[in-house]
Amino acid sequence: MLSDRGRRAVLLGLDDYGAALVLLCLVAYGALRVPNFLSEMNLSAILYQYSIIGLLALGQLLVVLTAGIDLSQGSLLALTSITTALVMVRHGPVLGALAGLALPTSVGVLSGLLVSRLRMPPFLVTLGTMGIARGMAMQIANAHPVPIHNEAFIAFGSGTLFHVPVSTFIWIAACVALHFFLTRRPFGRHVYAVGSSEESSRLSGVKVSSVKLTVYVISALLSAVGGVIWTSRLGSGSPVGGQNYELESIAAVVVGGASLFGGKGRVDGIVAGVLIFGVINSVLNLSGISPFWQGMIKGAVVLLAVALTQIRSRPDARAAEGGVAHA
Amino acid sequence: MAEKAPLLELRNVCKAFSGVEVLHDVSFDLHAGEVHCVVGENGAGKSTLIKIISGAYSADSGRTLYFGEEAHHADPRWVLSRGISTIYQEIDLVPALSVAENICLGKEPRTRSGNVDRPAMKRLASRVLDEIGVSLDLAAPAGTLTVAHQQMVAIARALSVNSRVLLLDEPTAVFTATEVEVLFRIVRRLKGQGLGIIYISHHLEEIFQIGDRITVMRDGRVTRTGAAEDFDRTSLVRAMVGRDIDFSRKAEGGTAGEEMLRVEKLTRRRVFEDVSFSLRRGEVLGVAGLVGSGRTELARAIFGVDRFDEGALYVRGIERRFRSPRHALREGLGMLPENRKEEGLVQSRPVLENAAYSSVQLEARFGFVPWGRIRRAVRGVIGHVGVRCASTNMNVRALSGGNQQKVVIAKWLAARSDILILDEPTRGVDVGAREEIYALMRAFKADGKAILMISSDLPELLTQADRILVMAKGHIVGEMPREQASEEAVLGLALEAGRGDRRAQ
Amino acid sequence: MLELPLPRRFWQERTVDTQRTFTTFLVMLLLMALAAALSRGVFLRPTNLLNLVFQNAILGVVSFGQLLVILSAGIDLSVGSVLGLSTVLLMIFQFVGLPAALLVTIAIPALIGAVNGYFVAQRRLPAFVVTLAMMLFVYSLAQVVSGGAGIYSGLNGAPLSPLLVSFNRRGVLGVPLPAVVWLLALAGVAFYLRLRIGHFVFAVGGNERAAALSGAPVITVRFLAYLLASVLASIGGVLAVARVGEGHPAAGQTYLLDSIAAVTIGGASLSGGEGTIIGTLMGVLILGTLNNILNLLNVSPMMQPAVKGIVILLAVYLNGRREQR
């Protein structure tokens, strides 16, 4: 059928644009078969709901590109929330937000240091910092939510600009910034290098430690930004929010075409991954299907995505094995 | 050639690992504008030499000088910064990044705002690739290139850091004839630009085509260094071998019995072709050959690790095609893998457990394992084999190389395999343990077992094997009984098939 | 570093597993001593110790399953959801009588475990993603089946079997039933590890290639690890129903991360091939004792996750250092 090269081209194409393709199909289905799907209200709602996960997924992408993982995102979000609210009470929204961004970011620094300098496995490190962040969040306000009275702050999280949620603009800005970073900045290219081949990178003078530290810090920062938005929407600081958000972000990252083994993944893929879940959610809601079914579909989608990744990478493996003799 | 100071110099360098001397009193130098080839069999010390030059290891004694400056400790980055680049067989590119990015990795040209200056990167990459006369798609991810092209990118990268010395370690191992030509063109060009090139290979015809000087190594020493014109094939081979073999160590010729294993026209496309031989009870069949000859792949295909495409395998007269090692084990086969650390043992588990794995698999009935019996038997075997460890509860990781090898042997002995495939049984093993392993092999033979022994150690083949098969480029190129074998004959055959036998593009 | 109170040579003759288990044991003793001191001896009273076991039985059972999977160099993120599903199933099927209900409660998770095993062992997909997908799937399934909320009685209003209602109050020789179940699980898993397939889990997790070359049935070993993990999670679910009399999809939420924590604290390595059942058992007890200590110190329960997090980091750090020796 297709020549070897032709096949490889198709598979590489799928690699990069597979998620977008799936998204397109889902949107087409929604447009054709689901009433009100293409309405402004609905599309706006999808973006609104998924902007926060979208931010987390960007951070997760960075970490996953270095063959790591960040389980602490949800807890950092909660930590941001409660910190912002508490500080805001006495010092106003700006300082509140800053404090809310600073504290989780320092936890991110901790995670990054443990992974990069002490070479501890990312899964367990972020499992640990996840607990630490959650504990801190609960402790600071004794597990009570802290109501916020600042109108401007509350408006910002749920506000819209030209019918597009403000939070979506923030997400888009982050996407653009990250895409730029990953494609145009040397440090961004080094992120791919470290995940793809740590040893070669090291030998070429890439500062592997710094790269690894940085990605955890950025992931924490993005989680914190998500936390500020979330808090604004909620109208209060809550230490119990964000449960399992990191799993959602990991799911989006996987479906978006990134490899948990590092070195593979793109911002546009992640955007598609996040929106895929958003569209599924919307389609199910509008079709009157109980939201309880969502998880099953999500699970199936994630499994499918990873199974496809494997098929994509097998021909390459065979080609590499082909001519290499041993002893 | 004007007598200028050498680019690189090793003087009386010695190196030992765990008491085993790997390099002894090695002196070597490289001048600008020359291609200096290093030849020697496997285990002669070539790779250690390279690792010392590239800064991965430091010499135990002697001096290492780069452009006259002495190196005091192992530091690959420092060596790189002095202008010496090593192109290893395992190409160290970053698969996810493009060709241009790989070439510039770590020193990407930047615009004033600090972004990657893509056009400048392209220009630099182009320029460097032009210098070696190669054109590639600069945007292609390095992981999608052929090995040959990846190597060229690695060379280009070396040039982009203004390397003055290139170390090529078996560069043409998987090349087609055309690709070799391209490489030679590059090498000649670089030579003309005044670079010094160290070229390690066992393809003698290539050496004669491209080399200016040749250094021959054997058993960790330099046996001869001279201009390429002063060598011919015969004298080269003789310098590579020509040792006094202690034939008193020779094992008793076995009285070969019934046929245990027969292989007919076994083929695995692009790996080995048309291999036929038979192995009898009580015999040790040696398999000689160089890197790339397909010996290990053959062993793995027989043992069920890999598949074969054509041909047939007979075990005790019955045709078999093992789907996995488990099935081969059931028929009495066992295999000591070439890489015992990574494939022979589970390093994090105890000695006793490792040595018992195959027995457990064989002797369990309905899932139940006769632990008492197995433990006793395995302990006995471990003692018999002579593994030296404070206790069999120790993790295998803590044992020396020779002892680890013995644990793997113990595993198959305990499983009572009667057809053993040994892939480099004494590689990295000290002299004392070696003799013990040979004694074990003699005992196996006497016990009526059959051994297929893959080895790159010519004296070992000549003293321990009853018959020797020689493989090259995936084919059997010779077979001789021990009485007719000599190092030169075997090595000559192993090197022979280089000519005109390369895979077509 | 922790200098062990015995000559170095003694330790060199023992496996790393034994060393780590001993270290874990010391830590457990230390914590128990601390708890005893803080409670002026109350901690060490038999009733209190039994209570410790009793409280942690569910985590204990689930952790054994997670251990098996981690030993095989994998991970099972779906254990929490599976536990939740099994509580829902058990409740709903009360109407067919207890034995049949138990059968369903264990059979369906077994199927789930088999699916996990198939994708990880046979198709070689990464365990993290497969079990993540399964976790989402199963949780959702539990929600659909239960209508999204907790259930307190079976179909047709069938009440919870009296055996289950009184389960926690019953005991054998004074040992409460949940603790007995935990002990049985311990015995079961220990027995499994002495069988051929169970024994090979260490080899497969430690070095899959070497295990395969030694003749180990790699695929089967991995497959069964996931199957058993789900089965053990479902047993945990049964205990959970006995404890609270409710079936709820989210019943197993905390057990996922706690089981991973317990296994890690108990000395197992996430990369596989290292770890012991006793270690995991002690890991669970350490977590339980820590909770006790925090209560005694009047530390707010809010800090629990933080303390757990710190303990995990410490355990990983110490385990890592030991490997480098």
Spatial CB neighbours of A39, under 8 Å, sequence gap ≥ 6 = none
Q: What local confidence, expressed as pLDDT, does residue B326 receive?
A: 93
**pLDDT at A309 exceeding the cut of 80:** no
- Beta-carbon contacts of B385 under 8 Å, excluding residues fewer than 6 positions away, are B406, B407, B409, B410, B413, B436, B440
Select the residue of C128, C135, C270 nearest A121 (Cβ to Cβ).
C270
Confidence (pLDDT) at B225: 92
Residue range A42-95, pLDDT digits in tens: 888 899 889 999 999 999 999 999 999 999 999 999 999 999 999 988 888 888
Q: What is the dihedral of CA A94, A95, A98, A100, to 10 degrees?
A: -110
* Separation of alpha carbons B390 and B399, rounded Å: 10
Contact B271 A325 (CB under 8 A): yes
Mark yes or no for CB contact B390/C13 under 8 Å.
Answer: yes
Picking from C128, C140, C303 by the largest number of A CB atoms within 10 A of its own CB, the best residue to mutate is: C140
Identify the closest residue of chain B to C323 by CA–CA distance.
B348
| Tokens matching residue C153 | 């009685």
Mutation target to probe the B interface, by most B beta carbons within 10 A, among C195, C202, C214, C324 is C214
What pLDDT is attached to residue C324?
47
- Measured CA to CA, the distance from residue C60 to residue C147 in angstroms comes to 29
How many contacts does A have with B, using Cβ atoms within 8 A? 96
Please check whether residue A205 touches B, CB under 8 A: yes
From chain A, pick out residues whose CB is under 8 angstroms from the CB of C312. 124, 127-128, 131
**Chain B environment of C276 (Cβ under 8 Å):** none
Query: pLDDT for B66-103, tens place per residue?
Result: 888 888 887 888 888 888 998 887 778 898 899 999 99
Residue type, C314: L
**HSE of B372 in the Cβ direction (CA atoms, 13 Å)?**
0
**ipTM field:** 0.88
- Asked whether the predicted pLDDT for residue B3 surpasses 70, the reply is no
| C132 contacts A292? CB cut-off 8 A | no
- The closest CB to that of B346, out of C12, C211, C217, belongs to C211
Using alpha carbons, select from B161, B189, B148 the residue that is nearest to residue B76.
B161
Distance CA B73, CA C312 (A): 38
Report pLDDT digits (tens) over A221-279: 999 999 999 998 888 888 988 988 999 999 999 999 999 999 999 999 999 999 999 99
Q: Residue range B479-505: average pLDDT?
A: 72
Q: What amino acid occupies position A74? A: G
> Using a CB-CB distance cutoff of 8 angstroms, which residues of chain A are in contact with residue B296?
326-327
- Give the closest-approach CA distance of C18 to chain A in angstroms: 22
pLDDT, tens digit, 9 for 90 and up, residues B425-443: 888 777 777 888 888 898 8
Nearest to B93 among A200, A264, A327 (CB): A200
Q: Which residues of B touch A316 (CB under 8 A)?
A: 143-144
Model pLDDT for residues B320-359, shown as the tens digit of each residue: 999 999 999 999 999 999 888 889 999 989 999 999 999 9
pLDDT level of residue B44 (50, 70, 90 thresholds): confident
Mean residue pLDDT across chain A: 87
Task: Look at residues B105, B114, B120, B27 and name the one whose alpha carbon lies nearest to residue B65.
Answer: B27
pLDDT of residue C1: 37
Q: 3-class secondary structure for B208-245? A: HHHCCEEEEEECCEEEEEEEHHHCCHHHHHHHHCCCCC
C130 touches chain A (CB under 8 A): yes
pLDDT band per the 50, 70, 90 thresholds, residue B499: very low
Other Cβ atoms closer than 10 A to C249:
28
- Indicate yes or no: CB of A299 within 8 angstroms of CB of C133: yes
Nearest to A142 among C75, C300, C316 (CB): C300
**Using beta carbons and an 8 Å cutoff, which residues of B are at the interface with A?**
42, 76-77, 80, 92-97, 101, 105-108, 110, 114-116, 143-144, 147, 157, 173-174, 270-272, 289, 291-297, 338, 423-424, 454, 456, 474, 503
Residue of B nearest to A263 (CA): B96
A279 CB-near residues (< 8 Å, 6+ apart)? A23, A26, A27, A30, A46
**B422: chain A residues, CB-CB within 8 Å:** none
SS3 of C209, please?
Answer: helix
Asked if the model's pLDDT at residue B411 lies above 80, the reply is yes
Helix segments in B279-350, DSSP class H: 295-303, 325-330
The residue of B333, B335, B346 whose CB has the most chain C CBs within 10 angstroms, and thus the best one to mutate to test that interface, is B346
Residue B97 in 3-state DSSP?
A: coil
Q: Residue B357 contacts by C-beta under 8 Å, 6 or more apart in sequence? A: B411, C200, C203, C211, C214, C215, C216
Residue whose C-alpha is closest to residue B145's, from A319, C297, C141: A319
DSSP B79: H
Q: Which two tokens stand for residue A232?
A: 């604004």
DSSP assignment string, A55-84 = HHHHHHHHHHHTT---TTHHHHHHHHHHHH
As a whole-number percent, the residues of chain A with pLDDT over 90 amount to 52
Average pLDDT, chain B: 87
Roughly what angle, to the nearest 10 degrees, separates helices C57-71 and C46-55? 50
Task: Please count the other Cβ atoms lying within 10 Å of the Cβ belonging to residue B16.
Answer: 14
Instruction: Say yes or no: C323 contacts chain A, CB-CB below 8 A.
Output: no
Cβ–Cβ contact A237 with B under 8 A: no
Q: How many CB pairs under 8 A join B and C?
A: 99
What distance in Å separates the CA atoms of residue B18 and residue C129, rounded to the nearest whole number? Answer: 43
CB nearest to B364's CB, from C12, C15, C196: C196
Mean per-residue pLDDT, B288-298: 87
Contact at CB, B76 and A203, closer than 8 angstroms: yes
Per-position pLDDT tens, chain C of length 325: 344 555 666 666 667 788 888 888 988 999 999 899 888 888 888 888 888 888 899 999 999 999 999 999 999 999 999 999 999 999 999 888 889 999 999 999 999 999 999 999 999 999 999 999 999 999 999 999 998 888 887 777 777 788 888 887 888 887 888 999 999 999 999 999 999 999 999 999 999 999 999 999 999 999 999 999 999 999 999 999 998 888 999 999 999 999 999 999 999 999 999 999 999 999 999 999 998 888 888 888 888 889 989 999 998 888 776 554 3
Reading the block at residue C183, the tokens are 């002990």
Strand ranges in chain C using DSSP code E only, listed in sequence order: 171-172, 175-176
What is this structure's pTM?
0.88
Q: In a 10 Å sphere around its CB, with 0-12 CB exposed, 13-18 middle and 19+ buried, how is residue C304 labelled?
A: buried
Q: Which of C306, C252, C293 lies closest to C48 in space, CA to CA?
A: C293
Which of A135, A254, A303 lies nearest to residue C309, judging by beta carbons?
A135
Chain C interface, best mutation among B336, B349, B393, by max C CB count within 10 A: B349
**CA distances (Å), origin C121, targets A182, C155, C204:** 35, 37, 11
